[in-house]
């Protein structure tokens, strides 16, 4: 497919690499300046684009930037064809994104993104850590393949995004509508716990919306106290341990 990716950081960069090596035609754009973008695109093995061109002649547009920066894209996204599937990978972290009143008041994150960009989005690639995305992928059918949640209101768009998730090395699990996508936001059992399909389905069902923001901030508070940055394994173990029903929590 022809794919534009906005944001070439940890997540946008890995998605770029994964989709490019499976034969997709990927171009990238990020806001840090032309030279930085060209170097990053070379590193990722794809074409650097421009802010105007990243939305042109694409079937899928992946937005992978911090939540606080999403409103900066609204003018650009207003020019995107209705036929283009827009994927939102974002997760709201107040320590990084500051106070966004609607989100602090419990609005579902990707619903806020969809309203801010004034168009439908599919939420995907948000509930696995960058490390899991980079190293945790397996071929389709492999034992214990990690699963990823996909939410949205357009069944055909979700089918296409799920195929991209599969190409990236993960099983896709339909997590329902965009309004339901809080079930794979930070602070839920489905978030960055590296579960296989059946476990992820259970975790999506087990989430408790009113607990999520508190647990998200609790986890960040724990990490801040580490004298050295936690390893990937430590992050996953802590995330799993918050949810005793999670079969991998023990």
130 binds ligand NAP (CB under 6 A): yes
Of the candidates 38, 57, 72, 234, which one interacts with ligand NAP according to CB under 6 A? 72
**How far is it, in rounded angstroms, from Cα 100 to Cα 94?**
8
Classified as helix, coil or strand, 124 is coil
Q: How far is the CB of 250 from ligand NAP (least distance, A)?
A: 25
Q: How far is the CB of 92 from ligand NAP (least distance, A)?
A: 7
Helix (H) or strand (E) holding 177: none
Two tokens, residue 46? 């794809």
230 binds ligand NAP (CB under 6 A): no
Position with the least CB separation from ligand NAP? 9
Pair 238, 113: CB distance under 8 Å: no
11 binds ligand NAP (CB under 6 A): yes
CA–CA distances in Å: residue 189 to residues 45, 117, 205, 223: 35, 28, 9, 18
On the CB side of 132, CA atoms within 13 Å amount to 22
Two tokens, residue 48? 């650097």
Of the candidates 3, 5, 8, 187, which one interacts with ligand NAP according to CB under 6 A? 8
Two tokens, residue 216? 């998200």
Q: How far is the CB of 117 from ligand NAP (least distance, A)?
A: 12
Nearer to ligand NAP, 155 or 224 (CB): 224
66 binds ligand NAP (CB under 6 A): yes
Footprint of ligand NAP on this chain (CB under 6 A)?
A: 6-12, 30-32, 36, 64-67, 69, 72, 89-91, 126, 129-130
């Amino acid at each position: 497919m022809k794919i534009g990716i906005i944001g070439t950081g940890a997540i946008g960069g890995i998605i770029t690499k994964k989709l490019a090596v499976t034969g997709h035609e990927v171009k990238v754009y990020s806001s840090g300046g032309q030279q930085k973008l060209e170097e990053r695109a070379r590193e990722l093995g794809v074409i650097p684009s421009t802010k105007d061109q990243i939305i042109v002649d694409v079937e899928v547009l992946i937005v992978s930037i911090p939540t606080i920066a999403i409103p900066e894209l609204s003018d650009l996204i207003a020019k995107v064809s209705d036929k283009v599937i827009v994927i939102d990978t974002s997760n709201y972290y107040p320590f990084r994104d500051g106070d966004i009143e609607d989100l602090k008041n419990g609005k579902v994150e990707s619903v806020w993104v969809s309203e801010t960009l004034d168009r439908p989005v599919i939420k995907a690639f948000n509930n696995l850590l960058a490390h899991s995305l980079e190293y945790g992928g397996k071929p389709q059918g492999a034992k214990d393949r990690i699963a990823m949640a996909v939410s949205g209101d357009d069944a055909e768009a979700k089918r296409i995004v799920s195929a991209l998730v599969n190409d990236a090395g993960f099983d896709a699990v339909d997590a329902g509508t965009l309004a339901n996508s809080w079930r794979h936001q930070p602070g839920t059992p489905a978030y960055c716990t590296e579960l296989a399909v059946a476990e992820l389905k259970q975790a999506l069902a087990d989430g408790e919306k009113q607990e999520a923001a508190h647990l998200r901030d609790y986890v960040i508070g724990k990490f801040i106290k580490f004298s050295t940055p936690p390893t990937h394994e430590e992050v996953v173990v802590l995330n799993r341990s918050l949810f005793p029903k999670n079969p991998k929590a023990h």
